[in-house]
Amino acid sequence: RKEVEQDPGPFNVPEGATVAFNCTYSNSASQSFFWYRQDCRKEPKLLMSVYSSGNEDGRFTAQLNRASQYISLLIRDSKLSDSATYLCAVNVRYSSASKIIFGSGTRLSIRP
């Protein structure tokens, strides 16, 4: 089982729709969680950090469910410019250091 798993999609939704992605993680000791956005042939860019019970930034809301070990990203009133791949990332603590493990990403396509 992968340490961080995402539905690869693609999600194809109309402009203005609300869309949600989930990301599950296997290490219950994980402390920090992140969502990144990656446009085609570009580098990942940090979208949101997810701490404690979650947070909101404009149209984007991230939630953390520690009991079920997943994080979610909700995008409201989606725009054409939201089309991208969304990567979740989880901080995992090993014996010598902590590392960020990335999911494989969920592709989102917004249609007019």
Partner 1 sequence: DAGITQSPRHKVTETGTPVTLRCHQTENHRYMYWYRQDPGHGLRLIHYSYGVKDTDKGEVSDGYSVSRSKTEDFLLTLESATSSQTSVYFCAISERAYEQYFGPGTRLTVT
- C-alpha distances out from residue 65 to 33, 50, 51, 53, 80, Å: 11, 11, 11, 7, 29
The C-alpha atoms of residue 105 and residue 97 are separated, in whole angstroms, by: 24
Q: Does 29 bind partner 1 (CB under 8 A)?
A: no
- Among the residue ranges 15-23, 37-45, 53-61, 63-71, the one whose residues contact partner 1 (CB under 8 A): 37-45
- Please give the structure tokens belonging to residue 81: 């410019």
25, 50, 61, 103: which one binds partner 1 (CB under 8 A): 103
What type of residue sits at position 97?
A: A
Nearest to 10 by CA among 102, 105, 106: 106
Asked if 52 touches partner 1 (CB under 8 A), the answer is no
Residue 104, token pair as written in the block: 């494989």
Residue 11 interacts with partner 1 (CB under 8 A): yes or no: no
Quick one: which segment of 12-20, 21-29, 62-70, 83-91 binds partner 1 (CB under 8 A)? Answer: 83-91
Looking at the Cβ atoms of 42 and 111, the one nearer to partner 1 is: 42
Binding residues for partner 1, rule: CB under 8 A, are 32, 34, 42-46, 49, 87, 89, 91, 96-105
